[in-house]
Amino acid sequence: MGRDDMRPREGAGHDRAVPPTLAECFTQGWAETVQAAPVLPGAAYAAKRRALLSARFPGERIVIPAGGLKVRSNDFDHVFRPHSAYLHLTAEEGASAVPDSVLVLEPTGTGHEATVFTRPRSPRDGGPNGTEFYRDRRHGEFWVGRRRTLAETADALDLTVLPRDDLARALAPRVPIRVVRGQDPVVDEAAPPATEAESELLTFLAELRMVKDDWEIEQMRAAVGHTVAAFHDVAGELPTATRLARGERWIEGTFDRRARLEGNGLGFETIAAAGAHACVLHWMRNDGPVRDGELLLLDAGVEADTCYTGDVTRTLPVGGRFTDVQRQVYDLVYAAQTAGIAALRPGARFGDFHDAATRVIAEGLDAWGLRPGGAGPHDRSLYGRYTVCGTGHMLGLDCHDCADARSSAYLDGVLEPGHVLTVEPGLYFQPDDLTVPAQLRGIGVRIEDDFLVTADGAVCLSSALPRAADDVEAWVSAAR
């Protein structure tokens, strides 16, 4: 990039004024480029969600910011990804989302009027913001690409859309207000802190996402389908990964390439954990080797263009065959997952699948003679030393979706048709754990699939990936 690109951001005090002749040159000679913006397929569903939000908080202004850019280093920002509540209530797509946009539901006599305040396309008229399109490194069209015009955004979202510059004025009249705080300084300034009101809003927004509608289920199927395709890509790249000093990075890059090709990107940072790294639940350094004879634990998800994500884990024998001890561990985790899957049904407690899976693991480890509490009466909860975390979670716009929901609606609630969740038991024998035999140390296994709860059971969205040990071996061997 050129030296001019290296100058500090606007406002840092180091930018030079544009010579008048050059500024004048930029004000003329541009063709009209109005673009058609069909209504987004999810817009009608988003309108129904806004109606539910309106009914829950009558007479109150509700403000949902998309959030803004976050600095990665100096004058480079992280890729923008809107707040999940904003996405859910607008059906905006990730690549088209504009930083600093804000959804406002203004109370009326009969409900709420919804308006999105956002940045318009960079003007080229020489007015107050007339240099933005070629001077503003964060928002200018020449730097980050074309935004939709306000009219195009209104067409796409099927909403009233006004300039971001009007936001502060729109928030000025004092009416009862609830905001998603910490995402936008203008919004935060307009509303005095109200911990209970804001907590109630976040809880409702989370619980609104728990039961997926038909459009959301389509997005989940797409995200998981892309995720499955990326796992197949990885299986074919295992031989290459074994020849590299940081083969985990090759695995990571292989998956990430598919994520960018098919969707908006990653739903979360890829976990490519080979050998003893598989015992680290969120191993994301991905800087180790991938060796024949060891296992590779890959936990990853593709985020669709609409920002719904998959979340799948497979533990693969790098050379195509499990050793006897690896298969012993794998088969126990497989049996635990199978028991957890069998517990998925509408009306079942959310915790039932976890209890079913952990019971199998505890009984299996007990049969192996592994008793972390020593001899005598044994508390099976001590097996948490080898399992560490829970056995699944809700899935949607966030990998760990609906986290602000009440325990009574989520962890202590019951499953309903339209819930999408993971089942992912695992066993992790740390390389320095003296409570297990030496041959088990450094082995980590997790198997994770994504499920849609239906009226009569559950459907595995990731069923196109092999799961049983024999099938996994055949898959990896065939892909080599």
The answer to whether 427 and 445 are in contact (CB under 8 A) is yes
Going along 209-322, which residue ranges are E strands?
265-266, 271-274, 295-300, 302-303, 312-317
Structure tokens at 15: 């930018």
Task: Please give the Cα distance from 193 to 28 (Å, whole number).
Answer: 47
Task: Please give the Cα distance from 143 to 147 (Å, whole number).
Answer: 11
Task: Please give the Cα distance from 16 to 444 (Å, whole number).
Answer: 56
Burial of 324 (0-12, 13-18, 19+ CB in 10 A): exposed
Beta-carbon contacts of 3 under 8 Å, excluding residues fewer than 6 positions away, are: none
Task: Give the helix/strand (H/E) hosting 160.
Answer: strand 160-163
CA distances from 17 to 74, 142, 218 (A): 21, 18, 50
Give pLDDT tens digits along the chain (480 positions): 443 443 434 444 446 777 888 888 888 888 888 888 899 999 999 999 999 999 999 999 999 999 999 999 999 999 999 999 999 999 999 999 999 999 999 999 899 999 999 999 988 877 778 889 999 999 999 999 999 999 999 999 999 999 999 999 999 988 999 999 999 999 999 999 999 999 999 999 999 999 999 999 999 999 999 999 999 999 999 999 999 999 999 999 999 999 999 999 999 999 999 999 999 999 999 999 999 999 999 999 999 999 999 999 999 999 999 999 999 999 999 999 999 999 999 999 999 999 999 999 999 998 998 877 655 555 667 788 999 999 999 999 999 999 999 999 999 999 999 999 999 999 999 999 999 999 999 999 999 999 999 999 999 999 999 999 999 999 999 998
Task: Please give the Cα distance from 258 to 27 (Å, whole number).
Answer: 41
Task: Please give the Cα distance from 148 to 156 (Å, whole number).
Answer: 9
Beta-carbon contacts of 27 under 8 Å, excluding residues fewer than 6 positions away, are: 124, 125, 126, 130
Amino acid at 383: Y
The phi and psi torsions of 307 (rounded to 5 degrees) equal 80, 10
Q: Which pLDDT value is given to residue 5?
A: 42
The phi and psi torsions of 384 (rounded to 5 degrees) equal -60, -20
Three-state DSSP at 301 gives coil
CB neighbour burial string for 39-53, b if at least 16 within 10 angstroms, e if fewer: ebebbebbbebbeeb
Q: Which pLDDT value is given to residue 283?
A: 97
Amino acid at 221: R
CA 165 to chain centre: 30
The answer to whether 92 and 82 are in contact (CB under 8 A) is yes
Q: What is the pTM of this model?
A: 0.94
By DSSP bridging, strand 112-118 and strand 177-179 are unpaired
CA 225 to chain centre: 15
Task: Please give the Cα distance from 414 to 433 (Å, whole number).
Answer: 37
Three-state DSSP at 129 gives coil
Task: Please give the Cα distance from 405 to 329 (Å, whole number).
Answer: 34
Task: Give the helix/strand (H/E) hosting 104.
Answer: strand 102-107
**Of the candidates 307, 346, 344, 105, which has an alpha carbon nearest to the alpha carbon of residue 216?**
307
**Of the candidates 404, 375, 370, 401, which has an alpha carbon nearest to the alpha carbon of residue 387?**
370
Other Cβ atoms less than 10 A from the Cβ of 55: the count is 10
The answer to whether 357 and 424 are in contact (CB under 8 A) is no
List strands edge to edge, sheet with 271-274: 271-274, 295-300, 312-317
* Residue entry with tokens 């969740």: 421
Helix ranges restricted to H, 150-246: 150-157, 167-171, 185-190, 195-208, 214-242
The answer to whether 391 and 340 are in contact (CB under 8 A) is yes
